[in-house]
Amino acid sequence: MNGRPISGASVGARTRSGKGVPALVLGLLLLLVTACGGGGGGDSDSGSDKGGKQDSGQADTKVSQAVVAITPKNGADDVKTSGALKVTAAKGKLTEVTVEDTKGDPVEGKITDGGASWTPSGHLAASTKYTVHAVAKDSEGREAAEESAFTTLTPKNTFVGIFTPEDGSKVGVGMPFSVRFTRGITHPEDVEKAIKIKTEPAVDVRGHWFGNDRLDFRPEEYWEPGTKVTVSLDLDGVEGRPGVYGKQAKKVEFTIGRSQVSTVDVKTKKMTVKRDGKVIKTIPVTTGAPGYETWNGQMVISERLRVTRMNGETVGYGGEYDIKDVPDAMRLTTSGTFLHGNYWSGDAFGNRNASHGCIGLRDQRGGGDRNAPAAWFFDRSIIGDVVIVKNSNDRTVAPDNGLNGWNMSWEKWTA
């Protein structure tokens, strides 16, 4: 061979003696030299930005500084249904809080204090297991999560609300939603908050307490015909009085029917029946005799009895009367005022007031004649219709004597 080098294509070949350097080794050596020297004038800071942060392709292994705390602690039982549940975040802000029962039903709540805490919007149900999942982020956007599960107390003493009208019913424009509780309530705000009423179309509906065991709801004026009312009784877990909890969770729906408002004039001894604002009939009546005058005021039909027995002993009149087969009776007050059929007062209707305080319309014993005035009115009336009495010598009926809260001004009702 002459001493000239072989062409570049033969760099990887060995010498005849077999002692040549492999091309792969040469390549590695060149790569090492390039890496050590920074190579080709490239940026010497290519491994990090000028702020010293790690390359975007490298995982951030730092732990979030946010700390999530859940009260009550995981595994707690006999937890109070109000005031015990709270979620907080330190060194960060809450971004997500989910609380559910075993059925997957959520507990409503909201994050407050700029993300520092979360509290439920209402009470929890009794004897129920809940799970909590909460997430918070620190100032760098790193997340920290915490989970917990607890069970609420099982109450030894409970109460329920007995309500009217019934679910699915159609009622008159004067019908309030009335709840009577089986135990006296000493925490009325908590109980009232647990009863939610929605209407279609929307109308402002407010509650008013009569004593400590009855709560009625109504709008300022009579309901508009056709209004649909939905009531949510979310009493399960509400502490109505110390150590006494509600055990009722029920939805009640009813509809307002046509408007029927009838006015009884004690002086003229006539009742004018208006349907949707138009007079449809005028009926002769008899009302309370002197000394037994009928209440004045707005009264709502709360009960309808096709035939009943009326005994003076049940309303404080001793043995003054005991009348069987009284037809077409409709209750107006709890104390015993009825509008009913009368078959025993002869020609009193439209001529003289002869009752013990009730409003009587001519009828047949047992109500066999459906064309009689009392039968006609009964067949065209529903629970919640309004009967107004005027020009009586007695005072106005008390708002809680029956479903008669319309005799209270809106200002007093909402006070």
Provide the annotated active-site residues.
340, 358
Residue 128's alpha-carbon distances to 147, 155, 299, 342, 402, in angstroms, are 17, 11, 43, 55, 38
- Cα separation, 184 vs 172, in Å, equals 29
Side chain identity, residue 172: G
- Cα separation, 286 vs 273, in Å, equals 15
- Between β-strands 170-171 and 249-256, what pairing exists: parallel, antiparallel or unpaired? parallel
Q: Is 97 exposed, middle or buried (0-12, 13-18, 19+ CB in 10 A)?
A: buried
Tokens 């409709």, residue located? 330
Residue whose C-alpha is closest to residue 213's, from 157, 159, 158? 159
* Contact residues for 195 (Cβ-Cβ < 8 A; gap 6+): 161, 179, 207, 215, 217, 231, 232, 233, 234, 235
* Helix (H) or strand (E) run with residue 410 in it: helix 410-414
Tokens 């025993």, residue located? 344
- Residue 405: DSSP 8-state: G
3-state helix, strand, coil in the chain (%, to 5): 10, 40, 50
Residue whose C-alpha is closest to residue 359's, from 260, 275, 263? 263
Residues for the chain: how many in total?
A: 415
Give the sign of the dihedral formed by CA 47, CA 50, CA 52, CA 54.
Answer: negative
- Residue 341: DSSP 8-state: E
CB atoms within 10 A of CB 100: 14
- Residue 195: DSSP 8-state: E
